[in-house]
Structure 1
Amino acid sequence: MAATEATPTTAIPSRLITTAPKKSAAMEVIEDLTYGSTAGIVGKYIEYPFDTVKVRLQSQPDHLPPRYTGPLDCFRQSIKADGVLGLYRGISAPLFGAAAETSSLFLFERMGRAAVYSSGYCPRDRALPLSALWFTGAFAGAFTSVVLTPIELVKCKVQVPASVDGSVPKVPSVTSVIRDVYKHEGIRGFWHGQMGTFLRESGGCAAWFGSKETTTKMFRLLNDRSATSQFEKDALAKEALPLWQQAVSGASAGMSYNFLFFPADTIKSRMQTSPVGGTKRNRTFMQESRALWNQLGLRGFYRGCGITVLRSAPSSAFIFMVFDGLKRYLPL
């Protein structure tokens, strides 16, 4: 898509700034799926050990004293028990999930922009304002949550094995988890925790895309002010941001995504790590929320938040840098 000059009331999504000819809709979809999958896999390898620790902190039983005193203690106990590779246990499903999630996010975000243009909110010959880009992020997250919930359910059950009878649980495989969930709860069981995923993804992705584009616009305005001529301003509008600015924009997106809706993710993780096949019925989103509040109060909803926000900064930075770089330099 051809670049246009940004104004104080509009924002050009940074991944759309390119000098290449306009592609067909089909090619745009293929690029979103291909490059989004690649970026998601890169990001998942970076963040997965931290994600394992986060889930273990979030899913500690509410009827027992906490097993871990904090993220560092969880890292120490996990490595002592299973070694470093234990932090990557169950990564096969999340790698598939990361590819599906990231590609779906970019695809649905593009569909969201098309819907905004079709509504007449913004003329098609103008870039969408930042308010619309926050909306398209929420649009993308809402639809992606339906794809993501079954994948995350399997991931959580592999990361935190649960025992029905109180015995020491065996480490399950991805296939055994899928088999057990289907046997005891049917297809519907794979969407246990959907409300938590929906809230986290719709709100979090509004912040993910919105923060990234807001920070990108800020950098472009700062760079534009340093230009000495209109020719230099036009050239800057067509060029990619310096790598450090791209990294800061992507990092701000990841930190916003994870911090703002972390309580919903905590409740989802607790729901998805509950034992399968016992006599105890699965709790609803509200029931799990009340149980956690009664046990630990407000701080219980943010258990593991620090390490999650910390690992999201480099992961999200790499996701956007890989995706934007592939779109710019390796167009299909």
Structure 2
Amino acid sequence: MAQPNTEPVEEYDYEGLPPNFSVLQNLTAGAFAGIAEHTVMYPIDAIKTRMQILNPTPSAVYNGMIQGGYRIATGEGILSLWRGMSSVVVGAGPAHAVYFLTYEAVKHMMGANQAGVHHPLAAALSGACATTVSDALMNPFDVIKQRMQMHNSRQMYKSMPDCARYIYKREGVKAFFISYPTTLSMTIPYTSLQFLAYETLSTTMNPAKKYDPLSHCTAGALAGGFAAALTTPMDVMKTMLQTRGTATDTELRNVSGFKDSARILYQREGFRGFFKGVRPRVVTAMPSTAICWSAYEACKAYFISKNDATI
């Protein structure tokens, strides 16, 4: 008769990379989290994009989330609020899979997975590395998404592939990546702030670092809203660069980068222009980040328990 294994099981910090958590499982958890995050709050993101457009036509001026959502739904149909979501679904899976894999790997390399020890610098640096890699994958899909979110986009693009072909033929490959440096200027501080806030809040709320859906959800929401509000100016400039190909204004159509977009924005709308769409951005970020972290932690906990059961 086989004797039970009486050797002590090695303990690991739940928030870190457990030794029996495979790369494929981490990729799966990240992909699941990314798709869940982007799809649930997509309509609010669509309203935010419309509100951030500089020099819109009179029929595409939106004064707030409720008014903007009502005008889009009644004028273009309720499904217009989800137009372009296919681009997010296709891009968010692999981008977020790489995002969380990089985050966990860098955090592990920096020795931040020791139980009971909080490493804010490691969390911030891990987030910065994660977003640099994932944004390179996501940026083209984000460009397509924002083009399809714009007013009257149905007249220009029938589908995601059609939009991609249209952009490529008229503007070349450069159009898919011209906003990448500006995107990083937003996402690196956004992700660093978010991960720093999330790790701090989740450690405070859940010092035992066990799987706790409530603390993961709450910490994710607060961290996301905090980071989103502070990085809105870069998001506005990113939108300007990603939608420049549809502008009728010559200056907007030829905007060349971060400095140029900042100059134009300040000249035309002053300091307030840098915070266009801040409310829908925060409203989107809080539940989206809560969903993202909750989905990731739930998937991670499932794989850990499944792996432990087979040992």
Scaled by the length of structure 1, the TM-score of the pair is: 0.79
Q: Tell me which residue corresponds to 1:301.
A: 274
Equivalent-residue separation in structure 1 for 2:223 and 2:113 (angstroms): 27
The match for 2:168 is 182
Q: Report the alpha carbon displacement of residue 150 of structure 1 after superposing the two structures with TM.
A: 1.0
Hey, what does 1:16 align to over in structure 2? Answer: 16
Cross-structure match for 1:90? 84
Name the counterpart of 2:233.
Answer: 263
1:250 to 220, 223, 239: 220
CA distance in structure 1 between the partners assigned to 2:58 and 2:294 by the alignment: 43
Q: Cα 1:65–1:91, aligned 2, differ >3 Å: closer, same or farther?
A: closer
Q: Distance in 1 between matches of 2:247 and 2:282?
A: 34
Q: Provide Cα deviations, 1:223-258, integer angstroms capped at 9, x if missing partner.
A: xxxxxxxxxxxxxx26323x3222211112211231
1:62-73 alignment, distance < 5 Å: 67-73=61-67
Kindly, what percent of the aligned residue pairs are identical?
Answer: 24
Alignment partner, residue 325 of structure 1:
298
State whether residues 124 and 195 of structure 2, in contact with CA within 8 Å, keep that contact through their aligned partners in structure 1: yes
1:95-134 counterparts in 2 under 5 A?
Answer: 95-117=89-111, 129-134=119-124
The CA deviation at 1:126 is 8.5
The CA distance in 2 between the partners of 1:174 and 1:161, in whole Å, is 16
- Quick check: 122-131 or 174-183, which moved more? 122-131
Q: Distance in 2 between matches of 1:261 and 1:312?
A: 11
Change (3 A) 1:123 1:52: closer
Is the alpha carbon distance of 1:123 and 1:208 closer, same or farther for their aligned partners in structure 2, counting shifts above 3 Å? Answer: closer
* Deviations 1:195-247 (CA, angstroms, capped at 9, x unpaired): 221111111111121111100111134xxxxxxxxxxxxxxx26323x32222
Q: Which residue of 2 is the match for residue 224 of structure 1?
A: none
Query: 2:254 — aligned with what?
Result: 281
Aligned partner letter, 2:34: G
The residue identity in structure 1 corresponding to 2:162 is: S
Tell me if the contact between 1:90 and 1:174 (Cα under 8 Å) persists in the aligned partners.
yes
CA distance in 2, matches of 1:106, 1:330: 15
**Gap change, CA 1:125 and 1:42, over 3 Å in 2:** closer
For structure 2, the residue ranges without an aligned partner over 5 or more in a row are 1-8
CA distance in 1, matches of 2:147, 2:19: 44
Aligned pairs, number = 294
The 1-side partners of 2:156 and 2:10 are apart by: 55
Change in Cα spacing, 1:2 to 1:42, as seen in structure 2 (3 Å) is: farther
Matched, 1:217 2:187: no
1:47 matches 2:41: yes
Q: Which residue number in structure 1 is paired with residue 3 of structure 2?
A: none
- 1:134-160 CA-to-partner distances (Å, cap 9, x unmatched) read 121112122222122111111111111
CA distance in 2 between counterparts of 1:54 and 1:15 reads 33
CA–CA separation in structure 2 for the residues paired with 1:178 and 1:116: 39
Give the C-alpha shift of residue 23 in structure 1: 2.0
Q: Does 1:202 align with 2:188?
A: yes
Residue matched to 2:142: 152
- Which residue number corresponds to residue 61 of structure 1? 55
Q: Which runs of 4+ in 1 moved over 4 A?
A: 1-4, 62-66, 122-128, 276-280
Mapped contact 1:15–1:327 kept (Cα < 8 A): no
Structure 1 unaligned regions, length at least 5: 5-11, 222-236
Q: Is the 8 A contact 2:65 2:280 kept in 1?
A: yes
Paired residue type of 1:174:
M
RMSD between superposed Cα atoms in Å: 2.9
SS in 2 for 1:330: helix
